[in-house]
């Protein structure tokens, strides 16, 4: 509709129409009691991209409840200073203070046909890994070639540092670094290729493990009050869409809980 000069417009539009337009505008604003709660600046929830119809208690619902923010700076990240010495047994994580270091705890859990050095049932000497990242079968032998099997943090510690771990107490960060929920024995080269990438940048080549991988990351982020980046949350949601029946991992899940 063509605009009219100011004086002609005010004479041409009936008063009743102007009044009706004003009432409609006020009604559209709503009362303050109807307004949705605001979200802190720079933050939202993954539910905005995960959908509000997620089944309560599902992996998708947990993802929907995670905060979504940009990654914080990595400048001050220091593995030992921020997360403690590698594989320490002196943590509050499950398995802590069991007199076996964390690496051996995970090898014992994830390898088959395990043999130990000595009689302590702690130091894993050999075993066989059905590698979740590549689908290959890998023979583990302690010694010069032991790096063929490495222990991966599903949520890399650098990624954790950039998504909320900077605000955690030191004891919680050290628990995160040694928590069986966040650890898996994997092919060494695949683990090195992953580095500190999140789900937006890296997923296992073995696609049958992708949903379990992402589900574990989501539960770890929930447990330690971490957030996801927008791209990470989108990638996680896309992966979970391929497996709507994916179970929510817990500390007592068979692939998580440590062997006695």
The pLDDT tens digits of the residues spanning 2-30 come to 444 444 334 444 444 333 444 334 334 43
pLDDT higher than threshold 50 for residue 33: no
Return the pLDDT at 43. Answer: 67
CA distances from 4 to 13, 73, 244, 260 (A): 11, 54, 57, 84
Q: Considering the entire predicted model, what is its pTM?
A: 0.82
For the stretch 129-168, pLDDT in tens is 999 999 999 999 999 999 999 999 999 999 999 999 999 9
> Long-range contacts of range 116-123, CB-CB < 8 Å, 24 or more positions apart?
117/142
Record the tokens describing residue 160, joined without a space: 């954790």
Question: What's the mean pLDDT in 58-80?
Answer: 97
Q: Would you say the C-alpha torsion 242, 248, 254, 255 has a positive or negative sign?
A: positive
């Amino acid at each position: 509709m063509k605009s009219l000069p100011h004086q002609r417009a005010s004479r041409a539009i009936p008063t009743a129409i102007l009044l009706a337009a004003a009432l409609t505008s006020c009604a559209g604003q709503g009362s303050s009691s109807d307004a949705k709660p605001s979200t802190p600046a720079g933050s939202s929830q993954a539910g905005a991209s995960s959908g509000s119809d997620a089944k309560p208690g599902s992996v998708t619902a947990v993802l929907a409840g995670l905060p979504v923010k940009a990654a914080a700076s990595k400048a001050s990240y220091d593995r030992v200073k921020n997360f403690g010495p590698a594989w320490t047994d002196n943590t509050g994580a499950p398995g802590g203070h069991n007199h076996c270091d964390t690496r051996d705890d995970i090898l014992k859990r994830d390898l088959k046909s395990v043999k130990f050095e000595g009689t302590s049932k702690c130091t894993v000497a050999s075993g066989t890994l059905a590698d979740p990242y590549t689908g290959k079968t890998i023979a583990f032998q302690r010694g010069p070639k032991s790096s063929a099997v490495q222990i991966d943090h599903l949520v890399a510690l650098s990624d954790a540092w950039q998504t909320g771990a900077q605000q955690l107490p030191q004891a919680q960060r050290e628990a995160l670094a040694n928590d069986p929920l966040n650890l898996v024995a994997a092919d060494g080269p695949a683990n090195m290729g992953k580095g500190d990438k999140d789900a937006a940048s890296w997923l296992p080549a073995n696609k049958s493990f992708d949903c379990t991988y992402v589900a574990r990351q989501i539960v770890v982020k929930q447990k330690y009050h971490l957030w996801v980046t927008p791209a990470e949350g989108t990638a996680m949601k896309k992966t979970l869409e391929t497996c709507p029946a994916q179970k929510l991992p817990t500390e007592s899940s068979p692939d998580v809980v440590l062997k006695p």
